[in-house]
Amino acid sequence: MLAKPCSLAILHPRLPSCTRQVFLSNFQFLIPAHSRYRSSLSTAAQSPLDGGAGAGGGRTGALSPPPVTDEVVQKIDVNPPKGTRDFPPEEMRLRNWLFHNFREVSRLSGFEEVDFPVLESEALFIRKAGEEIRDQLYCFEDRGNRRVALRPELTPSLARLVIQKGKSVPFPLKWFAVGQCWRYERMTRGRRREHYQWNMDIIGVPEVTAEAELMSSIVTFFKKVGISSSDVGFKVSSRKVLQEVLRSYSVPEILFGKVCIIIDKIEKIPIDDIKNELKLVGISEVAAEELLQVLSIKSLEKLEEVLGGAGEAISDLKQLFSLAEKFGYSDWIQFDASVVRGLAYYTGIVFEGFDREGKLRAICGGGRYDKLLSTFGGDDLPACGFGFGDAVIIELLKEKGLLPNLNQQVENIVCALDKNLQGAAASVATKLREKGQTVDLVLESKPLKWVFKRAARINAQRLILVGLSEWQRGMVSVKILASGEQTEVELANLE
Ligand code: HAM
């Protein structure tokens, strides 16, 4: 966990003597000099929880703000913590649109939605294989001295829930989730410290039919949002390829996860460092050479030539590619032995979605994890799934000009023309809302010009004016904004 000590306590000469201004990077509090909060603040400033803005900017410090009392004036940083996002309405519309598509696609395949707490026990995410995700954990001790963490991914929580449900649930389980995950990442395009992930997982199916179905769902999603196989592809491999090589050199099974994590770094660190790390965990030089050679294979035929056709790696991959053809997405997938994935728990097929222009990091990724449940003390069950982040796909859609134009849309704007008609307008709004119509209600006295401007901004279809003379006759004035046509409508007939 990165910790960054904050600088504290600068006196501001022009403030009244009873007040000291404390600067914490760009986070400021005005605190009375005699305040009892001063000491708790300085303790908190050394908290290991400091988000440690690290490389430049952003809000620092995990300080508990002092309780608000009359004597405390706070000037806060209006930006969210580095790497996190606010979702003002325009961003929220986009997020809702994206999540709606995630959910629609999942439901098309008969998956049920689940969710888990964002805060989990830290132990759930501690694996010993040296994964990057462990160093990126937002973890701390809660007030009851329990070690907890903000989830960096959803899979361990899903495994926990499957174990908890035991045999009471009917297998196979087909579950999906859309949830926020937290990783203390170095920020790059599409990589943030907080992101949302769409996950689909199948528990209880040992055959690669499950992986084939999952990939078909991702393709359905891509097509739904306008992305084609010329924009995006999947690189697919199987960890069983590595397993077969390691077995042939009698490398103990226990090292498998560690070796995968080392090999996954192949594009991030120099090859000599990879070889060194492999050596350190006990992989001989010859075995390392062969592993690296196998990883460069990009065709199934070549792989079969090297490994022979008898093993599970080849038969799984062949079956998967043949199913992809039947599902109708063979043009989206390609074999690439270099795909290993950075999580220790995968045991079989692994895949990653990538943009063909190579501008972005992985769009999504997943695979089979048949042994994860037993690492938590449960009985193993065949399982596979994928995670699909919200950030990279938005970048890609932007890049391709495929972002939808989402405006606020309210069907009616109802406006009281007179202060005495506020109650009347409110009753009109209630009546329409009860009929399922969306209504923006304007009760404050505003000039008509203002009301028309607002109607245009919220894309209202009708303007309903509640004026005295019409109201006395049980009528309201209804203007269809697209055509400008205006009529008086009896209240009872207002639909
Ligand atoms: P992952 O590859 O670590 O896999 O993450 C899956 C996806 O989440 C990535 O491909 C990316 O779209 C998104 N993602 C990950 N980290 C970030 C980040 N810092 N900022 C933005 N987006 C990010 C997993 O998490 C596995 N648990 C997936 C899985 C589910 N495997 C089986 N079931």
Q: Is the Cβ atom of 479 under 6 angstroms away from ligand 1?
A: no
- Domain-embedded: residue 77: no
Residue 187 shares a structural domain with residue 241: yes
Q: Is the Cβ atom of 364 under 6 angstroms away from ligand 1?
A: yes
Residue 339 shares a structural domain with residue 464: no
Question: What pLDDT is attached to residue 67?
Answer: 60
Residue 128 shares a structural domain with residue 236: yes
Contact of 431 with 478, CB cutoff 8 Å? no
Question: What pLDDT is attached to residue 328?
Answer: 98
Give me the residues of the chain with pLDDT under 70, please: 1-71
Q: How far is CA 419 from the centre of its chain?
A: 47
Residue 421 shares a structural domain with residue 379: no
Q: Is the Cβ atom of 191 under 6 angstroms away from ligand 1?
A: yes
CATH number at residue 271: 3.30.930.10
- Which residue among 72, 98, 114 closes a domain? 72
Residue 202 shares a structural domain with residue 317: yes
Total domains present in the chain: 3
Residue 22 shares a structural domain with residue 143: no
Q: Is the Cβ atom of 152 under 6 angstroms away from ligand 1?
A: no
Residue 206 shares a structural domain with residue 348: yes
Q: Is the Cβ atom of 311 under 6 angstroms away from ligand 1?
A: no
Instruction: Please provide the size of the chain in residues.
Output: 495
Q: Is the Cβ atom of 320 under 6 angstroms away from ligand 1?
A: no
β-pairing, 333-335 with 232-238?
parallel
Residue 15 shares a structural domain with residue 93: no
The pick from 153, 158, 354 for probing ligand 1's pocket by mutation, whose C-beta has the most ligand atoms within 8 angstroms, reads 153
Residue 160 shares a structural domain with residue 227: yes
Q: Give this prediction's pTM.
A: 0.85
232 CA distance to ligand 1 middle (Å): 17
Q: What are phi and psi of 355, to 5 degrees?
A: -85, 135
- Domain-embedded: residue 467: yes
CATH number at residue 443: 3.40.50.800
Contact of 373 with 380, CB cutoff 8 Å? yes
Q: Which residue positions form the known binding site for L-histidine?
A: 153-155, 183, 197, 201, 341, 345-346
- Domain-embedded: residue 80: no
Residue 416 shares a structural domain with residue 383: no
- Domain-embedded: residue 83: no
Residue 338 shares a structural domain with residue 360: yes
- Domain-embedded: residue 152: yes
Among residues 201, 202, 200, 184, the alpha carbon closest in space to that of 192 is found at: 184
* Enclosing domain of residue 41: 8-72
Which residue's CA is the closest to the ligand 1 atom numbered 13? 389
- Domain-embedded: residue 406: no
Which residue's CA is the closest to the ligand 1 atom numbered 8? 389
- Which residue among 16, 42, 72 closes a domain? 72
Question: What pLDDT is attached to residue 71?
Answer: 66
DSSP notation for 267-324: GTS-HHHHHHHHHHTT--HHHHHHHHHHHT---HHHHHHHH-S-SHHHHHHHHHHHHH
- Domain-embedded: residue 79: no
- Domain-embedded: residue 354: yes
Cα separation, 7 vs 25, whole angstroms: 7
Residue 374 shares a structural domain with residue 425: no
Please give the number of the atom of ligand 1 that sits closest to the Cα of 201: 33
